């Protein structure tokens, strides 16, 4: 039996959304123990990134760790801001969250930022695949995460977030702590498919 490398599992997770949650979690934990083999550089955070998979979402039924919504991250190190845009359903407005004081400690492979008056949050980079546009990190708030770079062309052609996801899932955010929006969504209702 052929066993996928952590890199293959994470690339398939980010680009095809079909790696089983157990495989993704195993790959991320292996990379976490091994330390980042290819360190991230400041230039790796350019552009927009989509949060595809989160260990926080593995606790919710039916999701297998994959995000049911669309969360776009922009790591603007020059402006020292993390901008997070969350798209849920087409009839709801996007949620925008800004993290201030964004800094990247290249030696520690850690991004640090703060949202409002909350304690600083950190993302420690575990894996970078520049060619595939895939990155994995351990968040102090949401646990283990896989993100993918979003191209300008793909973003322009993307359907609204809810139509790109299963229409059977209706979500509501837990927003007592705005940082919880990053990967903490609750399934409220399962609607049977039409036809």
The series of mean pLDDT values per 10 residues for the chain, 195 residues long, is: 82 95 95 84 95 94 91 96 93 94 96 95 96 96 96 61 36 37 33 38
pLDDT digits (tens, 9 = 90+) for 121-140: 999 999 999 999 999 999 99
Residue 37 placed within a domain:
yes
Task: Write the CATH number for 152.
Answer: 2.40.128
The whole-model pTM stands at 0.78
Q: Output the pLDDT for position 187.
A: 29
Q: Is 90 exposed, middle or buried (0-12, 13-18, 19+ CB in 10 A)?
A: exposed
Question: What's the number of domains the chain is made of?
Answer: 1
pLDDT at position 38, please?
85
> For 126, left (φ over 0), alpha (ψ -120 to 50), or beta?
alpha
Tokens of 48: 């927009």
Q: Is residue 1 part of a domain?
A: no
Please check whether residue 117 lies inside any domain of the structure.
yes
**Burial label, 117 (beta-carbon count in 10 A; 0-12, 13-18, 19+):** exposed
Average pLDDT, the chain: 81
Q: What share of the chain is helix, strand, coil (3-state, %, to 5)?
A: 25, 40, 35
The size of the chain, in residues, is 195
For 21-49, what is each residue's pLDDT tens digit?
A: 999 999 999 999 987 668 999 999 999 99
Task: Give me the percent of the chain exceeding a pLDDT of 90.
Answer: 66
Residue-number span of the structural domain to which 107 is assigned: 6-159+167-189
- Does residue 38 sit within a domain? yes
Q: What percent of the chain has pLDDT over 70?
A: 75
pLDDT at 156: 60
**pLDDT at position 8:** 95
H-assigned helices in the chain: 6-16, 21-34, 152-157, 161-164
Handedness of CA 138, 142, 145, 148 (dihedral sign): negative
């Amino acid at each position: 039996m052929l066993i996928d490398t952590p890199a293959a599992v994470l690339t398939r997770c980010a680009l095809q959304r079909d790696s089983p949650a157990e495989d993704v979690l195993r790959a991320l934990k292996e990379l976490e123990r091994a330390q980042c083999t290819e360190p991230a550089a400041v230039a790796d955070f350019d552009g927009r990134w989509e949060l595809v998979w989160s260990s926080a979402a593995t606790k919710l039924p039916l999701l297998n760790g994959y995000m049911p919504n669309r969360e776009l991250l922009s790591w603007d190190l020059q402006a020292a801001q993390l901008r997070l845009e969350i798209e849920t359903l087409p009839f709801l407005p996007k949620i925008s969250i800004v993290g201030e004081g964004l800094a990247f400690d290249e030696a520690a492979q850690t991004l640090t930022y703060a949202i409002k008056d909350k304690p600083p949050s950190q993302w420690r980079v575990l894996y970078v695949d520049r060619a595939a546009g895939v990155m994995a990190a351990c968040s102090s708030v949401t646990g283990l995460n896989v993100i993918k770079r979003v191209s300008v062309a793909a973003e322009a052609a993307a359907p609204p977030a809810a139509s790109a996801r299963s229409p059977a899932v209706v979500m509501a955010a837990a927003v007592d702590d705005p940082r919880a929006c990053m990967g903490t969504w609750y399934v409220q209702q399962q609607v049977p498919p039409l036809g």
